[in-house]
Amino acid sequence: MSHEAGWAHAPGALRGPAWLQPPADPNALVQHLWSQTAHKVDGELHVGGLALPELVADVNTPAYVLDEDDFRSRARAFRDAFAAYDVFYAGKAFLCTAVARWVQEEGLCLDVCSNGELTVALRAGFDPARIGYHGNNKTLMELRRAVAAGVGRIVVDSFDEIERLASITADGLSTRVMVRVTAGVEAHTHEYIATAHEDQKFGFSISNGQAFEAVRRVLATPGLELLGLHSHIGSQIFDSSGFEVAARRVLALQARVSDELGVALPEMDLGGGFGIAYTTQDDPSDPAQLATEMSKIVEHECRALGIPEPRLSIEPGRAIVGPAMCTVYTVGTVKDVQLDGGAVRTYVSVDGGMSDNIRTALYDADYSCTLASRDSAAPPVLSRVVGKHCEAGDIVVKDEFLPGDLRSGDLLAVPGTGAYCRSMASNYNHALRPPVVAVRDGVARVVVRRETEDDLLATDMGDQ
């Protein structure tokens, strides 16, 4: 349903979606949307023991603020809840050298899906044996590097890739692989982040026999050690029903492999995609609940099929880094726009936008935000936070109640921006990508610096 469905366009008033209500205290945080150390003091947002106005006085805006304690705490929560599993942090959500080191220090494995991500992981000193390598179109060069580095597993995604690996292992090398399968599950999420239905680019279909054939070819290829099957149903998933259907179909394939090929596959990866709270609409499960539900599903299906339970692995990324980061902006202009019927919408323009958070434009994603630099006694008004780029779709927060006295120079902070915002950031309109500032115990350190104009021009070869 459109967000504008059900809006009352009474003269002078505009109501947002039915779930969005004016806050009882417009200065308070909706705490479960924020990292664990986030709180307000006299209207100023503090994260990691630092006031954001003080922080941005040094690093400027826009800036991503990463709560290190929160990140580590969420990583440990998954590690402990899924103690019998291998937990791979999905680096595509956000990865830098410091984060890779935190992941290793907290006892997690690491999932990468590009040569660049592998480069960051190796630079961080991450144990290659604890790295998994994803990707639907890994080149021969990328595969050679992964094998040479000794990554713990390569997730095979096509018959072409099996042939490429065969050409590498023909020289006497070896590597461990998993076969990514498509379970035909329609995950309850945006179509662009649903990855287990048939009509998309990832994996081998179970239903048309390609998955079984891929297993057969891997088993017949010298130098390839087949660990098991991999399934990923999508992202921002809030219930276990999709995992249940996927596990049932993947384990049925595993039983067929055992029966017809005489091979008991020792492992299975259930993927990631666990949802987080971006707004009050979202109600994510905690890791302990997820672990209980997913373990019961696998145990039940294996018992029904009469096969041994494989060692399981999962790949949380967003669920660890998403809530650990917020983005802080400076307000530039505030504009009231009269709509048809006489209603007024307040547009709040900030100094970032779709170059630092493309998800609203790309996925119709919802976000929340708060005034981060002062208290306000003004009544809240329904506002839309927009960026400074030359696109009408350059929206950061579609609907939020913000103080009616919001003005130029105020700071706004958007929670839940740790996953994919910096990873997908661009130089659209030749914007400079913001820094990532890690905060902990009152100390800030820049882990990814702000780009400069020199960076922007470094690849511009001029008039040659």
The one catalytic residue in 109, 369, 390, 421 is 390
391 is in an annotated binding site: yes
d(CA 40, CA 17): 27
Tell me whether residue 390 is one of the annotated catalytic residues. Answer: yes
91 is in an annotated binding site: no
Supply 83's token pair. Answer: 């103690």
363 is in an annotated binding site: yes
Among candidate residues 317, 359, 313, 357, the one with its CA nearest the CA of residue 117:
317
Whether 242 contacts 233, CB under 8 Å: yes
d(CA 206, CA 186): 14
352 is in an annotated binding site: no
Bridge partners, 87 (sequence order): 314
d(CA 377, CA 347): 20
273 is in an annotated binding site: yes
Supply 317's token pair. Answer: 């990324």
Whether 52 contacts 65, CB under 8 Å: yes
316 is in an annotated binding site: yes
Residues in Cβ contact with 109 at an 8 Å cutoff, skipping those fewer than 6 apart? 86, 87, 88, 89, 103, 130, 131, 132, 152, 313
Burial letters for 369-390: b for 16+ Cβ neighbours within 10 Å, e otherwise? Answer: bbbbbeebeeebbbbbbbbbbe
150 is in an annotated binding site: no
d(CA 431, CA 108): 34
318 is in an annotated binding site: yes
Whether 339 contacts 347, CB under 8 Å: no
Strands 267-269, 224-230: parallel, antiparallel or unpaired by DSSP?
parallel
Q: Which amino acid is at 182?
A: T
Q: Annotated catalytic sites, by residue?
A: 390
Binding site residues, as ranges?
273, 315-318, 359, 363, 391, 420
Binding site residues for pyridoxal 5'-phosphate, as ranges?
273, 315-318, 420
Binding site residues for substrate, as ranges?
318, 359, 363, 391, 420
